[in-house]
Amino acid sequence: MYAILDIETTGGQFNEEGITEIAIYKFDGHEVVDQFISLVNPEIPIQPFVVKLTGINNAMLRSAPKFFEVAKRIIEITTDCVIVAHNASFDYRILRTEFRRLGYDFEARTLCTVELAKKLIPEQPSYSLGKLVRALGIPMADRHRANGDAMATVKLFKMLLEKDTEKTIIKDFIKLEIEKGIAPKLLDIVAQAPTKTGVYYIHNENGTLIYIGKSRNIKKRINQHFTGTNIKSKKIQAEVFTVTYEETGSELIALLKESEEIKVNKPKYNRSQKKTIFPLSLYAEKDKKGYLNLKLQKTDGRKKEITSYGSLQEGKNALFFITDKYKLCQKLTGLYVTKKECFQYKIKECDGACIGEITPEVYNARVQDFITDYSFENKNMILIDRGRTVSERSAVVIENGVYIGYVFYDLNYQITNIEILKNIIIPMQNNRDVKSIIQNYMRKSKSLKVIHF
């Protein structure tokens, strides 16, 4: 758990400031599960420049609770949490100072979103909360009030968790759990998992990632690991300490994240996916008569494929569909092996490329239409899909034919403003696997919306 907080103070001499307002959101990495927001009577005057900045004045605080009256609630909501704040050293110092005045030693682990942002969103002109969230297109209300700043920090932190493909934030959090020495039972892990689409991460007792997977129902898939009787399932059952997860809403983003993060983190039980996950590819080759033949072959890194497939059956099914859609010949797509005309010609569903009744130029133009439709070359497009909530959308971004990453967004101007888009995008590697994942998803999905730019 994370306690994401913001504190407003009276200003004044170092370590003599008093708290005027505090907002704390308890965040489980996915959603806010508890919150505490309150004005606080500091029992000392507020500096004039602070009144001007925050709008909080001495009269507003006369009837507010004093710190000792809210201290118990603060301890309750932050217990066993990592404290997260924008410029965490300031907020943590103020909290410790207030508790020290009560004779209580307040201690917690901290994470600073300024430091995280500098690492995960480099080269920003400013890392002040207001300017940073504006650059990221994060909506913000009540600037310089604890509630507004704390909620903006929640949204910022959620974005930083998404950008952390190496999972360093999560690994540090799990180390904190390990220090408690109590591993949740398998049934407890399954019970806490969501029934939603996303990526899940299985960790051992050192916090090391041992398996990464994706599913349209995370709970169901984790349960299959924990009840499976094959060798891999039994090894996972013996080693698992905890499971973390990320909801994606979009199955496409789940597939892309799984592929990328297996390559980055190299979990030991993902051996089969460390290599290419699409062993068969479709190639176009001219025969002696000048006709372009489509050939389904073992993926060859030295040749330029049109698209790729996870199995022979998947490839053949797709090839039947392509042949029918683009009015191609089953003989020239390798689906009907014969030295004469293809069967489709006999039933008048092929116009005779197999026996030279149409010219190579006419036939090849259809093949080229297919290649153009399935190729990303020089294309700029955004693939819009569902998000994690009803109000959210996801987008996969392809620039000049290269997959550059994905993004979650709430507001249309985040996706149409190229500067904001580049700031909020979660950058990803472009490789043969992701190209095939995107092509396959585009071929199968009915909900995907494609915007060209």
- Domain edges within the chain: 2-163, 168-273, 280-374, 381-452
Average pLDDT over residues 403-407: 89
Pick the closest to residue 298 from 316, 315, 314, 281 (CA basis).
281
pLDDT given at position 176:
64
Provide the pLDDT confidence category of residue 177 given band limits of 50, 70 and 90. Answer: low
Q: Going by DSSP bridges, is the β-strand pair 2-9/82-85 parallel, antiparallel, or unpaired?
A: parallel
Write out pLDDT tens, residues 195-206.
999 999 999 888
Average pLDDT, integer, range 323-350: 90
Place 394 in a pLDDT band, splitting at 50, 70 and 90: very high
Assign 78 a pLDDT band (cuts: 50, 70, 90).
very high
Which pLDDT tens digit goes with each residue over 248-285? 999 999 999 998 899 888 899 987 655 567 788 899 99
Asked whether residue 183 carries a pLDDT value surpassing 80, the answer given is no
More confident residue, 367 or 15: 367
Task: Give percent of the chain with pLDDT exceeding 90.
Answer: 44
Q: What's the fold here for domain 2-163?
A: Nucleotidyltransferase; domain 5 (3.30.420)
Give yes or no for residue 134 having a pLDDT over 70.
yes
Task: Please state, in angstroms and rounded to a whole number, the distance separating the CA atoms of residues 78 and 83.
Answer: 7
Whether the predicted pLDDT of 50 surpasses 70: yes
Q: What is the pLDDT of residues 220-239, one digit of tens each?
A: 999 999 988 899 999 999 99
Query: What predicted TM-score, i.e. pTM, was given to this entire model?
Result: 0.72
What pLDDT does 181 receive?
A: 55
User: The domain 168-273 is classified under which CATH number: 1.10.630.10, 3.30.2320.50, 3.40.50.300, 3.40.1440.10?
Assistant: 3.40.1440.10
Average pLDDT, the chain: 88
* Model pLDDT for residues 280-309, shown as the tens digit of each residue: 889 999 999 999 999 999 887 777 788 888
pLDDT tier at 375, thresholds 50, 70, 90: confident
